[in-house]
Amino acid sequence: MATIYINKENLFYNLNKISSINPNIIAVIKDNAYGHGIITISKLLKEFGIKKVAVRNNAEADIVKGFFEEVLVFNPLTNRNAFNISYAINSLNQLKKNRHPYIHLKINTGMNRNGIEIDEIDKAFEIILKKEFELKGVFSHFCCSEEEGTDRFIQYEKFKEVKEKVIKFCKEHSIKKPYFHIANSTALSFLPDTFDYVRPGIAIYGGIEGYKPVMSLVAKALHTRVIKNDGVGYNKKFFSKEEIKITTVDVGYADGIPYFKNGCILKNTKAVGKISMDYMAVLGEFKEVVVFDDIKEFVKNFDTITYDILVKMSPRIKRVIK
């Protein structure tokens, strides 16, 4: 089986870089920490000093609640839960059904995916007072933070207005002010104000420019053979007239590598022919093959994004901190 290596030094470099912008971090570790291993990453985040994280669902929250002061669940159930777990509220209907006392209100400022509409905030306030919820946070999410354009600044200005509205409500009802967060990874570099907390995801793992890659995927060689005037793999999409060495390694699309029909560029060699479910053939003779050690380079082989490859890395693959 292949091995995923987690580079602690690079992870801490990324966290330090984010901390230099805003030291108050809600680290997003949803979907198995973007494929890096939710327990492995949680241990390292705790060691670094991260106090708050965000996860996808209740199952992930239950796994990591022992590591952190607060765990924000983006897509929660409605039942009550642990004292250090907070539920993201994505609609008025959810707010009405919710029974968990600790909440973050998500406001739709333009993403148009999840979140309470701005003109619904007063109604949300009524429900919060009636059901005596503790409003721990208020947040939103950018739709176009990586693009230079008007959308991200429109959302930013809307969120500033939301903050003023929420603070006024809290003062009027003698409620503790919640903390505000909207800055995702690509918003860190352009926001005039990152508000109380930042909420990075992919930047933590080095999946965007300016941050160091945290994951390396290394596959063991199974055997090497010599071919000439022959092909390799299903349908022999790769064919060599010359005598060459081909090494089979123990990783395939079942492990999360995107499907390809005739090879892709790896760290120090290239794959040839079609990828199989459990295997991949590469040019040359090796004992092990670094499939990638920088996801930003590896993704160039495919018509996709770094997130798409990282999150699909099989949880069966052993994660090792180096």
> 19-54: per-residue pLDDT in tens?
999 999 999 999 999 999 999 999 999 999 999 999
Q: What pLDDT was estimated at residue 146?
A: 84
Contacting residues for 121 by C-beta, under 8 A, at least 6 apart:
105, 107, 162, 165, 166
Does a structural domain hold residue 94?
A: yes
Q: Are residues 136 and 29 in the same domain?
A: yes
Q: Tell me the one-letter amino acid at 129.
A: L
pLDDT value of residue 269: 97
Mean pLDDT of the 232-255 span: 96
Residue 84 maps to a domain: yes
Q: Do 40 and 166 belong together in one domain?
A: yes
pLDDT at 150: 79
Task: Give yes or no for residue 287 having a pLDDT over 90.
Answer: yes
Number of domains in the chain: 2
Say how many Å lie between the first and final Cα of the chain, rounded: 18
DSSP line for 40-51: HHHHHHHHHT--
189 and 221 in one domain? Answer: no
14 plus 119 within the same structural domain: yes
Considering the domain boundaries, does residue 12 fall inside one? yes
pLDDT of residue 259: 97
Q: Among this protein's residues, is 287 annotated catalytic?
A: no
Non-local CB neighbours of 237 within 8 Å, separated by 6+ positions = 231, 261, 262, 273, 274
Q: What percent of the chain has pLDDT over 90?
A: 96
Active-site residue 270, yes or no? no
CA-based angle 300:247:240, to the nearest 5?
Answer: 80
Predicted pLDDT of residue 100: 98
Reported as a pLDDT band with limits 50, 70 and 90, residue 212 is: very high
Residue at 208 is within a domain: no
242 and 309 inside one domain? yes
Asked, for residue 203, whether it belongs to a domain, the answer is no
Q: 272 Cβ partners below 8 Å, 6+ apart?
A: 232, 233, 238, 246, 262, 263, 281, 282, 283
C-beta of residue 282 within 8 angstroms of C-beta of residue 257:
no
Q: What is the pLDDT of residue 58?
A: 98
The residue annotated as part of the active site, out of 234, 236, 259, 318, is 234
Q: What is the pLDDT of residue 12?
A: 99
Domain that includes residue 153, residue range: 8-198
The reported pTM is: 0.96
Burial of 277 (0-12, 13-18, 19+ CB in 10 A): exposed
User: Domain for residue 210, yes or no?
Assistant: no
Do 144 and 177 belong together in one domain? yes
- Check which CATH number belongs to the domain holding 191 and give it: 3.20.20.10
pLDDT band (50, 70, 90) for residue 133: very high
50 and 188 housed in the same domain: yes
Distance CA 272, CA 236 (A): 9
pLDDT digits (tens, 9 = 90+) for 170-185: 999 999 999 999 999 9
pLDDT of residue 147: 81
Question: Distance between CA atoms of 156 and 188, rounded to whole angstroms?
Answer: 12
Local confidence band at 149 (pLDDT 50, 70, 90 cut-offs): confident
- Dmax (CA) of the chain: 82
**Catalytic residue among 30, 65, 106, 136, which?**
30
- Write the DSSP string, 133-167: -EEEEEE---SSTTS-SHHHHHHHHHHHHHHHHHH
CA angle 33, 67, 39 (to 5 degrees): 35
Q: Average pLDDT in the 287-297 region?
A: 98
Q: What is the mean pLDDT of residues 140-169?
A: 92
pLDDT the model gives residue 140 = 98
Residue 195 region by backbone torsions, left for phi larger than 0, else alpha for psi between -120 and 50, else beta: left
Q: Tell me, what's the pLDDT at 104?
A: 98
Cα separation, 123 vs 238, whole angstroms? 63
Minimal CA–CA distance to 111: which of 182, 160, 170, 163?
A: 182
Residues 301 and 276 in one domain: yes
Helix 150-172 and helix 121-131: axis angle, to 10°?
A: 40
Share of the chain above pLDDT 70, in %: 100
Instruction: Give domain status of residue 249, yes or no.
Output: yes
Q: Encode burial over 112-121: b for 16+ CB neighbours within 10 A, e otherwise.
A: eebbbebebb
Q: Is residue 123 part of a domain?
A: yes
Q: What is the mean pLDDT of residues 55-61?
A: 98
Contact 54, 64 (CB under 8 A): no
- What pLDDT was estimated at residue 152? 87
Mean of the per-residue pLDDT values for the chain? 97
pLDDT in tens, 66-103: 999 999 999 999 999 999 999 999 999 999 999 999 99
